[in-house]
Every structure is written in structure tokens, then in C-alpha cells.
Amino acid sequence: MLHGEEAGGGRQEGIICLEAVAEPRGDKTRLQEDRCSGVESGRIKSSTVWQCGGSVEVLPCSRIAHIERAHKPYTEDLTAHVRRNALRVAEVWMDEFKSHVYMAWNIPQEDSGIDIGDITARKALRKQLQCKTFRWYLVSVYPEMRMYSDIIAYGVLQNSLKTDLCLDQGPDTENVPIVYICHGMTPQNVYYTSSQQIHVGVLSPTVDDDDNRCLVDVNSRPRLIECSYAKAKRMKLHWQFSQGGPIQNLKSKRCLELQENSDLEFGFQLVLQKCSGQRWSITNVLRSLAS
């Protein structure tokens, strides 16, 4: 349930459904149909309602159903539209946290190649309504959301020895990273932080979920261990990395490298060994990496 203030001081209510999105307008919040499929189109997230003085409530006893249209006024493949809408929201409403949307879609923040259109009017509307910052929303409304402001590089990680292979988290049931044909999906998401940790795979969305996995040197073998556990146990989880350079563990001084192994599907395995000059590159860099 969405709430906004009427001009006379009363409260206006509306229901956010799959074919509507909330859009702030002056002294009220109205519902507007969108050309893409439902709220997931990302045209205006519920966070913007909060930022502009409204609220969104979840009714625990409500019944939810999906009634599909016989004819859809949008294409079956919505990826391009969803990305465009998500980036528009990020650029207008998310301030310094907009990088999280780019990271989620593995899109470069500069020269993304996606035309998001003219957002001048949207920014002017936000200013006119005197909407609060996204940081206010995180602190006051959704403090459970985990932020990753320390990430300085993200994307897929490739080795100069075999550029069609990418670092991959491997099977979910194991903690052994592998190299696999590059596909850029979640198992190959890599994040390098300002604290020199390398996160591999999905990132936890909330502070209550603390299952992010970090690359760790365990007895001279590369392993993926929960970051919080590895930190508490003072394990070897910090790595020196610069774009186009080696990945070297700060404690053991061993480098993450590829080694030929004809028994494996793609002919290579990940090893930690004396640095031989192999170089790694990551897709997107937000801030300069340490040299």
C-alpha cells in the first residue's frame, strides 16, 4: 500500500500492483502505468516514494495474484528496457550509491553504451519536491540493506595466458574456485575492494546475510571462504592487484596463476605459486587500483 499527502492534509492511498509504478507529483503520489512489465521495470522504485515524503506499506494478510494479459504491450525480452530503466533510477535518485546498480548489471559506469535518454526533467522534479537523499533512505527506512561502497573494481577476471577463461566460483557445494569459459553470469562476478579483498560470486543483499565469499590462500591452495570467518581467523585473504598485473597474496607472497592440467575440461587449473609474470584484468574499474 502506498501513502502520500493530499493538498488538504489528508492521506491518499493507492495499491502498487504488477502493472503500475509509483511516481511522485507535486503534493501527491499517483500511479502510472508503464510500458514495460510491472514494478520490476524499475521506472520508479519504492525508495523514491519514501525520499519524496510518501511511504509504502506491506499488508501481511493481503492476497497476491498474477493475472497475465492476453496481449502484452511490450517485447518478450525485457533485458534492454529493464537495464535502461534501472540506470535512469540510479542516475536520478541514488546519488553516490548509483554504482551499485552498475555493479549489479556488470555495466561500466562510464561509457556504458546504454542510452538512458534525457533525465533533466526527472532531476528537476526531484529538486522541486525537495526529496531526501538516498543515504537518508538507507539510514532511516532500510538500514538492513548492505552497501558496498568499498568496491573499487568489478566484473569478470581474466588471465593473460588464456583470455577466454574467467575466474569462476565453481560448484555451489564446494569452496574451490576454478576457471571456466567466460559467460559473465553470477558465478563469475568478481569484486575487488579497497581493503584488498577479492569477493567471488553473489553478494549478500542485507546486513543479516553474512555469506559473502572471499578468495583465500589456504595451505598454498586457492579457496573461497566466508569473508567474515576468514577475517576473524586472520586467514590470508588480502591481495595486491593492479589492472593488467599479477594477483599476489600479501602474506604468503604467492601469486594466483593458471597451470596446465590436461585432465581438466578446459586444460587449466588455478594454483598459488611463485609469481611467474602472469597478468590479470578485470572488466570495470571504479577507482584507481593500487600499483
Query: Distance (Å, rounded) from C-alpha 158 to C-alpha 59?
Result: 47
DSSP structure class, residue 246: -
The share of the chain scoring above pLDDT 90, in percent, equals 63
Pairing of the two strands 213-218 and 280-285: unpaired
- pLDDT tens profile 206-263: 988 878 999 999 999 999 999 999 999 999 999 999 999 999 999 999 999 999 999 9
Cα–Cα nearest to 221, from 173, 269, 151, 268: 269
Averaged pLDDT of the chain:
84
Q: What superfamily would CATH give domain 39-141?
A: ppGaNTase-T1 linker domain-like (1.10.8.460)
Same fold, 39-141 and 151-285: no
Burial code (b: 16+ CB inside 10 Å, e: under 16) for 34-62 equals bebbbbebbbbbbbbbbbbbbebeeeeee
pLDDT over threshold 60, residue 27:
no
Span of 11-15, 176-180, 190-194, 283-287 with lowest mean pLDDT: 11-15
pLDDT given at position 43: 39
Read off the pLDDT band of 90 (50, 70, 90).
very high
Q: What is the mean pLDDT of residues 33-52?
A: 60
Query: Is pLDDT at 72 greater than 80 in this prediction?
Result: no
Helix intervals (H) in the chain = 46-51, 79-93, 99-104, 120-128, 134-140, 227-232
State residue 181's pLDDT score.
97
Using CA atoms, how far residue 201 sits from 140, 145, 152, 192, 216, in Å, is: 29, 18, 16, 12, 14
Give the CATH number of domain 151-285; options: 3.40.50.620, 3.90.1640.30, 2.80.10.50, 3.40.50.300: 2.80.10.50
pLDDT band of 175, cuts 50, 70, 90: very high
Cβ–Cβ < 8 Å for 187, 156: no
Grid look-up 533525465 returns 119
> Does the structure show a pLDDT above 60 at 16?
no
DSSP assigned state of 201: S
- Is the confidence at residue 22, as pLDDT, over 80? no
C-alpha torsion sign, points 106, 111, 115, 120: positive
3-state helix, strand, coil in the chain (%, to 5): 20, 30, 50
pLDDT tens sequence across 189-209: 999 999 999 999 999 999 888
Inform me whether the pLDDT recorded for 42 exceeds 50: no
- Could you tell me where the DSSP H helices lie in 45-177? 46-51, 79-93, 99-104, 120-128, 134-140
Q: How far is CA 177 from CA 107, 124, 186, 219, in A?
A: 23, 47, 13, 15
Q: Which residue has the higher pLDDT, 129 or 172?
A: 129
CA 100 vs. chain centroid, Å, equals: 5
> What is the C-alpha R_g of the chain?
23
Strands, DSSP E only, in the chain?
Answer: 2-5, 11-14, 20-25, 28-33, 55-56, 151-159, 162-168, 178-181, 190-193, 198-200, 213-218, 221-226, 239-241, 247-249, 255-260, 268-273, 280-285
What are the CA-CA distances from residue 145 to residues 17, 138, 174 (Å)? 23, 7, 27
Running DSSP on this structure, what letter comes out for residue 145? B
Question: What are the extents of the domains in the chain?
Answer: 39-141, 151-285
Q: When comparing pLDDT for 78 and 271, which is higher?
A: 271
Q: Model-level pTM greater than 0.85?
A: no
- Mean pLDDT for 92-110 is 93
8 Å CB contact between 236 and 196: no
93 — pLDDT class (breaks 50, 70, 90): very high
Handedness of CA 195, 287, 250, 235 (dihedral sign): positive
Residue range 108-163, pLDDT digits in tens: 998 889 999 999 999 999 999 999 999 999 999 999 999 999 999 999 999 999 99
